[in-house]
Amino acid sequence: MTLKWLAVLVAAVALTSAVTGNVVIGVVGGGQLPVVANLLALTTAGTAVVLAVVAELNERLNERLSALSEFLVARLDEIETRTGDRNAGFVEGYLLSHGRDADVVPFGRRGRGAAER
């Protein structure tokens, strides 16, 4: 069960128990539940409703981000297929004109010895 539906269930149970308790005590003894019990039930229900709303908004945000990332991947794939590998010839030509072999130049000594030279 997801967090959203669990929070809705907790809110429903809290409100139902508060209303049932008030009705039973009102019919039997002519009073109502103590204020602390009513406030606890209302606070629990309110917190659960807020949690359910936040969970729903989080779920919607995740769906939108997933859709956006899928769209972005599809768009990048489309751009890649449209452009192809046009730069491959340029890179190969550049490498051939400059030669693939590079001179190996050793690094100088580091630290105190480098300053003495």
Q: Is the dihedral of CA 84, 86, 89, 94 positive or negative?
A: negative
CA distance 25 to 19: 10
pLDDT category at 58 given cuts 50, 70, 90 is very high
Neighbours of 55 (CB within 10 A): 17
pLDDT tens track for 60-106: 999 999 999 999 999 998 888 877 666 666 666 666 666 656 566 67
Nearest to 41 by CA among 20, 22, 23, 14: 14
Does the pTM exceed 0.95? no
**If pLDDT is split at 50, 70 and 90, which confidence band does 19 have?**
very high
